[in-house]
A and B are shown apart, each in its own frame.
Chain A
């Protein structure tokens, strides 16, 4: 299980290759998701500022990953989440799961994403040319947890 909370950029492709190698030969399926900073339709996003709660963040992510590992018998699981100021197009976060078969890998990746959205202590603020605004949580994100 690998959990990384960092301000530094990362390369999702290289990270996925290393993850696949580390998952071992029993893993017949690897699923990954990368979240990228999305510009506004008007192209006026200067930066996405990501704040987090050092200490609690690592605990929450570890807890979410452990729950997924126990529920789907994963061969390997990876969570990376960045903080600090990120520009449009930069990777924010990534999850990857490895399992003997694909259903478990897909489901566990979705589970990780759903929990990471509303149970890991991160907050996003959009810094635009004409001002800044905290991103509001969506009720659909909270509702997504109910299916698990």
Chain B
């Protein structure tokens, strides 16, 4: 699965995207796996209220199932316009 990070999340984790081997059922499960990896992930994902998630380029929430997902993106609230 391709996992992408944007804005300050990308900076804190230190990379824009990576391939992740996971059997996580939901976004929250995937976050738990990422947090357990290294301190920088734990810090970056410490407050999920400050983050948004998209599965295959559609906004969703942290309870969403990852069933068949090819791409999961994490980012702070958007600031367009």
Contacts and interface: CB of A to CB of B under 8 A. Distances in A.
Interface string B30-58: 00000000000000000000000010011
B73 A123 contact: no
Interface in A99-139: 113, 116-125, 134-137
Interface in B4-45: 4, 6-8, 10
B80 A125 contact: no
Interface residues of B, number: 17
A137 B78 contact: yes
Given A56-B73, A123-B7, A136 B79 contact: yes
A148 interface: no
Contacts of B68: none
Contact of A121 (B6, B10, B81): B6
Interface of B: 4, 6-8, 10, 54, 57-59, 73, 75-81
Interface of A: 35, 51, 53, 55-56, 59, 81, 92-93, 113, 116-125, 134-137, 142
